[in-house]
Amino acid sequence: MDQLQGDHDTVSRDAIGAQSHAEEDASWQAAKSTKKRKQEALERRRGSAGLQDQVKTGTPTFKKLPKLPPLPKDDYKIVIRPNQGLPLRNILTPTLAQAIIEACQAGIRDDHFILRINPGSNIAILSTKYEEVADKVRLIRALVLNGRAHAVRAYAANGDDTLRGVIHGVPMNTSTETLMAHLRVRTHGVEIITARMIGTTKSAAITFFGPTLPRTVYYYGGELRCYPFRPTIQVCKVCREKGHRADVCPHPDRPICRLCGLTNPTDGHPCSISCASCGEAHPTGDPTCKKRLKPPKPKQPQVQAGHSDKLQQGTSNDPPRTKNLRWFSSEEEENAYKSADDKHSSRSHSRSPGRKPHSPSKKSAPAPTQQNLHRSPPGGGAKGNGGDQGCTQQASSLPVSWAEAVAPKSACTPPITQNVHYQAVIAENKQLKQRLDKYENKIMWLEKQLAQLMGATPKTTVQASQNLTSHPSEKLRDNGHIQPQSTPPRDPVANIGTEQTATNLTLQQQLQLMQQHILQQTEAQMKQFFVEFHDLKRYVHESLDKETKRRRKQNQPRSQESDAKSMLTSDAESTPTSSHHGN
């Protein structure tokens, strides 16, 4: 009978060990999957619009002791949990690091990882960016410290970008493979990394990768509500201290009653059950304990890129807007949305290969013109104390005249770019620029024609001289310039030279006249442009002066009323004094 009981215990221990190994392998696969997804997301953000900043809100909490700097966010995190009887708080971190290197048979170096001991939880966390190092460390089962071997358990922890949820109504003892094969989620941007059952309950814990926790998940097609996973407060049932579990208790031999918490108990002492978490009359870790679960973390809204820039610059008073998520009602809708999203992203990449990310909140300020520099006060504008912040910040980028600076801030005045006269001047200036471009193109065309004529002139004269030399008498007879009967014949060589000189002079005179005509037209057009420009400049100055005078007239009645009130007050005070002196 004892042998059967021993065989049964051995089989149960083997089953528990196999289950723990399966969970460790699942956690390692989940860690690698999370690492891969984070790298893909980082590459997408760099390729499309750059890294997005996250704005942290909430009231800052002040603690007595400063926190340690966070470990690298994108590294693999391997948790090393010792068995009972090994308090890590009594071991130096370099000593533990040397033991880890020896356990890996010198397959890793000390510059490949960062080791940190958490004395409260009695665990050690190893951070590394190398997958080979993480794979070797997670297989460690024992560490030699001070000449003694201590059993440990190493496993990969989930990253910071993962979320955990809980679903209820799953049959007990369901394997992880079955859960992963039949669990689905239809929230855009959210994927299931791993899932496991919680003890011997009908609840399953699911690890997601994505920006938010999905509302529902589907198991065998059935819809189940997904709740946020709230980890339990670790309370040791052996030493009744918080921060670690019983399997890693550093003081397993401490004399204390596990039910009531009495130190150095005697046999038969009066024992009343007391919870180490809340102090009520129930066992420690009871499911009905009100302080068994940790409070949920406050949600930090994910702010869009443009709005985060405004918050950093202090130019927005609106509350942060959370990212709009999408829940699909069917797989066809989800696939259609993903395909459309992929096409849009590929199109944007192909159209803008080297374009810098554009932030909608950062607008380039207009370049200061000569008129604005002339009208701006020497101090760069007055500093107003009151008024609307949005109006003040909008007007701060524009030059302000002295009259506008001393005017009361009762209402937000519109910027000068919204003035009707200003817009009309801008439109006319645009038309003048178009006309100037048109004339410049015409001048360039005329210059090309002139160059072509200058290049074709020698060829024309040579051809004419050849024709005259070959048939001088026929040319003269056909043209009717010379009659051979009445006029004596001339020397053909002298005749050719005279005709060629006359032709050259005629062409040169024509070209000179055309060039002078073009220059005169250009000068006239430029003079007209300068006159119109000066007229527009004078018109803008007059419009701005009228606007300034109008504002002064609006503010003048208020000053007259205040002067009248002050005069009445002074007359009322001076009247009894004068009557007294008169008497």
Domain that holds residue 102: 1-42+72-160
Which run of H or E residues covers position 183?
A: strand 183-184
Cβ 496 vs Cβ 469: under 8 Å: yes
User: What is the 8-class DSSP label of residue 237?
Assistant: T
Which run of H or E residues covers position 47?
A: helix 2-48
Tokens 């978490």, located at residue: 277
Residues in the chain, overall count: 583
- Residue among 28, 35, 332, 26 nearest 180 (CA): 26
Q: Do the domain assignments include residue 404?
A: no
User: Which residues are 166's β-sheet partners?
Assistant: 205, 227
Alpha carbon separation from 36 to 75, 112, 154, 453 (Å, rounded): 11, 20, 21, 71
Q: What is the pLDDT of residue 332?
A: 62
**Domains contained in the chain, number:** 2
Tokens of 405: 């600076």
Q: Percentage of the chain surpassing pLDDT 70?
A: 58
Q: Do the domain assignments include residue 254?
A: no
Cβ 267 vs Cβ 288: under 8 Å: no
Tell me the C-alpha distance between 216 and 213, whole Å: 9
Confidence band, pLDDT 50/70/90 cuts, at residue 395: very low
Which region, left, alpha or beta, applies to residue 105 given φ > 0 means left and ψ of -120 to 50 means alpha? left
Higher pLDDT pick, 562 / 367:
562
The SS3 of residue 475 is: helix
Task: Name the most confidently modeled range: 73-77, 236-240, 263-267, 490-494.
Answer: 73-77
Average pLDDT, integer, range 549-567: 71
**End position of a domain, from candidates 144, 160, 176:** 160
Cβ 256 vs Cβ 236: under 8 Å: no
Residue 96 has pLDDT above 90, yes or no: yes
Q: What is the pLDDT of residue 515?
A: 84
76-82, strands of its sheet edge to edge: 114-118, 123-128, 76-82, 148-156, 142-145
- pLDDT tens track for 310-320: 444 444 444 44
Q: Do the domain assignments include residue 566?
A: no
Tokens of 566: 């002050």
Tell me the C-alpha distance between 110 and 306, whole Å: 42
Tell me the C-alpha distance between 413 and 391, whole Å: 8
Tally the C-alpha atoms within 13 A of residue 411's C-alpha that lie toward its C-beta.
4
Sign of CA dihedral 271, 277, 282, 283: negative
Neighbouring CB atoms inside 10 A of 47's CB total 12
Residue 78: give its domain's CATH number: 3.30.70.330
Q: What is the pLDDT of residue 1?
A: 41
Q: Which residues contact 533 (CB under 8 A, 6 or more apart)?
A: 432
Higher pLDDT pick, 32 / 11:
32
Task: Name the most confidently modeled range: 21-30, 236-245, 351-360.
Answer: 236-245
Tokens of 126: 């190893």
Residue 393 has pLDDT above 60, yes or no: no
H-type helices in 131-244, by residue range? 131-137, 176-182
The mean of the pLDDT values for the chain is 70
**End position of a domain, from candidates 160, 177, 207:** 160
Q: Which residues contact 269 (CB under 8 A, 6 or more apart)?
A: 257, 262
Average pLDDT, integer, range 286-295: 76
Q: Do the domain assignments include residue 264?
A: no
Label each residue of 412-468 as H, E or C. CCCCHHHCHHHHHHHHHHHHHHHHHHHHHHHHHHHHHHHHHHHHHHHHHHHHHHHHH
- pLDDT tens track for 19-53: 566 667 777 777 777 777 777 777 777 666 544 44
Q: Which residues contact 447 (CB under 8 A, 6 or more apart)?
A: none
Q: What is the pLDDT of residue 365?
A: 42
**End position of a domain, from candidates 160, 184, 219:** 160
Q: Do the domain assignments include residue 402?
A: no
Average pLDDT, integer, range 65-86: 85
Tell me the C-alpha distance between 87 and 153, whole Å: 14
- pLDDT tens track for 269-287: 788 888 887 878 888 777 7
Q: Do the domain assignments include residue 335?
A: no
Confidence band, pLDDT 50/70/90 cuts, at residue 377: very low
Cβ 141 vs Cβ 152: under 8 Å: yes
- pLDDT tens track for 155-169: 888 766 788 899 999
Q: What are phi and psi of 204, to 5 degrees?
A: -125, 140
**DSSP code string of 26-45:** HHHHHHHHHHHHHHHHHHHH
Sign of CA dihedral 93, 99, 102, 107: negative
User: What is the 8-class DSSP label of residue 209?
Assistant: E
Q: Do the domain assignments include residue 155?
A: yes
Find the helix packing angle between 420-470 and 472-479, rounded to 10°. 120
Tokens of 527: 């003079």
Q: Do the domain assignments include residue 384?
A: no
Which run of H or E residues covers position 375?
A: helix 370-375
**DSSP code string of 243-259:** TS-GGG-S-TT--B-TT
**DSSP code string of 86-102:** --GGGS-HHHHHHHHHH
- Using CA atoms of 37, 39, 44, 46 in order, give the dihedral in degrees to the nearest 10: 160
